[in-house]
Structure 1
Amino acid sequence: MIARAIVCFACYFLTFPLPAQSSYSIPNDSKKILFLGNSISYAGHYLTYVETYLRLMHPERNWEFINLGLPSETVSGLSEEGHASGRFPRPDLHERLDRVLKAVEPDFIFSCYGMNDGIYLPFDESRFSAYKKGQGKLQQKADALGIPLVHLTPPVYDRAQDPAYAAVLSVYASWMVSQRYTQDWKVIDLYWPMRKFLEDRRESNPAFALTTDGIHPGEQGHWLMARSLLKGIGESQHLEADLHKEVFDSIPLGAELLPLVREKQELTRDAWLTFTGHERPGLREGLPMDQALSKKDELMQAISTLLSTGKIR
């Protein structure tokens, strides 16, 4: 019965697309933009594309994009038995959330969870309930602090040998989208645009894939995530291409800016994760915060010089 409900729910969203969402703007006085998520956010390619694009389109804005994605993390607090060969359980966002919010003091938050939250098992109502509860706790925390929060649905899961978990992710993503209408949450859908793109491509190339492991998107998958996010905050220019290189090659200074933003993102990500603390072993230790911020300022000066003069450092 449960399996049938999952399939029906997923098929409904494929057959009857949701109404187009209203775009969400980042207020002009929002400077610190925080990204929370799991290993996909930690990898950060979609964040780099988003930041690069926004700096090119809005060079007058005084943005600060902060990536605090943590590999293996869930918003549900769940972990499967024997995770990471028994070396450590999955970290729980809520263990570190208060420290992160106190240290960063963000003006705006993007959050991307769901991929790990069903812990790669068939659908179970108790696990689904934990995911919903965890997302609700995050929303309540943001509301209590008066911080605008935009939820991002998980990207597509694509392991042919595991259709049961693919169905779970369909349900989780669809439930999250439904919160736009039932709870007035701000939600940008990454999952269904990626899934439609994948299925369209496979009509002519059955071997086409957006990931090598079914979980972590490659560069094209990250670009599709970034594109949906950008459209979700009202952007439209240069977003027709399906590859990030085509986009940034078409925007003056785009190809030059991208590596500077990537370098800054990786530097500050590692520093903030070390500074705020977490329960995920095995990550690269970041620089002390004062050193990281000094290097970040140097990179921001290079970014500002490039955008104002067209010259790199």
Structure 2
Amino acid sequence: MNRFFGLLLCFVLVWLATPVLQAQPLGANVKRVVFLGNSITYAGNYVNQVTAYLMAQNPNRQIEFINVGLPSETVSGLSEEGHAGGSFPRPHLHERLARVLAQTKPDLVFACYGMNDGIYLPLNEARFNKFKNGMNWLHEQVTKTGARLIHLTPPDYDELKGKQKGYATVLDKYANWLLIQKKSANWEVIDIHYPMQEYLQAHRQVDATFGIDGFALAPDGVHPGETGHWIMAREILKYLGYKEAARQPGIVESLKQVPDAEQYYKLITERQNLLRDAWLMATKHQRPGLPGGLPLPEAEQKASELQEQIHLLVNKK
């Protein structure tokens, strides 16, 4: 009960500090969009969904969407003991960001951090400060290149599935701090945390009514499934002015103007994953255990061939 009232108070304070959401369009000057983040971004579902929707809505624009999410990564620089079975510490964005920005040359960057940054431990001011310092550093590094930066609040953590008691409160705190930066520091911030949390809680209430204990957006408490990624994607699309997307139950249903939406999305996913692996290799990430990508020129050639198929589907009558 105490946590409920604490969350309610935090929500009210954030709501009071947050301006009414107005659409912030992609911008005519945007040619390259880069997504930074951890394993949730690396998985690519929400990135691919945003890419598919925006490409379908803007078939005549040449926009490149680049996913360089890296599993296990943090902005805090923290790593728990025994991470990955003790084989390596969590990667720190500080190590690679300069290379990523120099090589990808983005006009717009989406950054989604926080899930790993508290290293799955209860709230601690020292760890919280590490997260805040990391986010401030990230903001400075990206914006000084001239690129636009849009932060995403961390996804919701499901304690029922993830088993780390108290960690949901940590991510509430991290999300609230980011939302407050919208007014106090004039940052662009999209909230995905509370929409995911509200969706999860609503479905859990239905489950409880019927004595069911099965619904989850993230089966392990951390990594969202397709529905969780769609909630993330639709909040991004809403922010960019595509409110119609929010009324659809999934990405395929939102692509009404594409004759074969399932095949279109499959090709988008194949293309994005191909380029993701190539860009991660080209920017020399240091995380062990990831599959290698093709050399970037070779990947771009294959991506161009896939793009021709995508273009034909979008323009098919």
Smaller-chain TM-score bracket? over 0.9
Gaps of 5+ in 1: none
| d(CA) in 2 for partners of 1:185, 1:14 | 19
| d(CA) in 2 for partners of 1:257, 1:36 | 24
Could you tell me whether the CA contact under 8 Å between 2:237 and 2:245 is conserved in 1? Answer: no
How far off is 1:103 after superposition?
A: 0.7
Deviations for 1:61-97, whole angstroms, at most 9, x for unmatched residues?
2110000000000011111111111100000011000
| d(CA) in 2 for partners of 1:58, 1:154 | 28
| d(CA) in 2 for partners of 1:7, 1:120 | 20
| d(CA) in 1 for partners of 2:106, 2:13 | 36
Instruction: Give 1:34's aligned residue.
Output: 34
Instruction: Give 2:265's aligned residue.
Output: 258
Instruction: Give 1:12's aligned residue.
Output: 9
Instruction: Give 2:151's aligned residue.
Output: 151
Q: Which amino acid aligns with 2:310?
A: I
Instruction: Give 2:60's aligned residue.
Output: 60
Sequence identity, in percent?
45
Instruction: Give 1:72's aligned residue.
Output: 72
Instruction: Give 2:123's aligned residue.
Output: 123
Deviations for 1:128-180, whole angstroms, at most 9, x for unmatched residues?
00100001001111221111000001111002233300110111011111110
Stretch of structure 1 that moved more, 54-63 or 12-21: 12-21
Gaps of 5+ in 2: none
Partner of residue 243 from structure 1, selected from 221, 241, 250:
250
| d(CA) in 2 for partners of 1:113, 1:76 | 9
| d(CA) in 1 for partners of 2:250, 2:54 | 17
| d(CA) in 2 for partners of 1:307, 1:247 | 13
SS, match of residue 237 in structure 1 = helix
Could you tell me whether the CA contact under 8 Å between 1:9 and 1:171 is conserved in 2? Answer: no
What do you get for the CA RMSD once the two structures are aligned? 1.8
Instruction: Give 2:51's aligned residue.
Output: 51
SS, match of residue 109 in structure 2 = strand
Instruction: Give 2:135's aligned residue.
Output: 135
Q: Which amino acid aligns with 2:237?
A: L
How far off is 1:249 after superposition?
A: 6.2
How far off is 1:241 after superposition?
A: 2.6
Deviations for 1:109-130, whole angstroms, at most 9, x for unmatched residues?
0000000000000011010001
| d(CA) in 2 for partners of 1:291, 1:83 | 34
Could you tell me whether the CA contact under 8 Å between 2:121 and 2:164 is conserved in 1? Answer: no
How far off is 1:275 after superposition?
A: 0.8
How far off is 1:7 after superposition?
A: 6.5
| d(CA) in 1 for partners of 2:244, 2:4 | 36
CA separation of 1:183 and 1:241: change in aligned 2, threshold 3 A: same
- Please give the TM-score of this superposition, normalised by the length of structure 1: 0.93
SS, match of residue 214 in structure 1 = coil
Question: Does 2:175 match 1:173?
Answer: yes
After TM superposition, where is structure 1 displaced by more than 6 Å over at least 4 residues in a row?
none
Could you tell me whether the CA contact under 8 Å between 1:10 and 1:171 is conserved in 2? Answer: no
Partner of residue 230 from structure 2, selected from 212, 216, 223:
223
Could you tell me whether the CA contact under 8 Å between 2:56 and 2:257 is conserved in 1? Answer: no
SS, match of residue 162 in structure 1 = coil
SS, match of residue 197 in structure 1 = helix
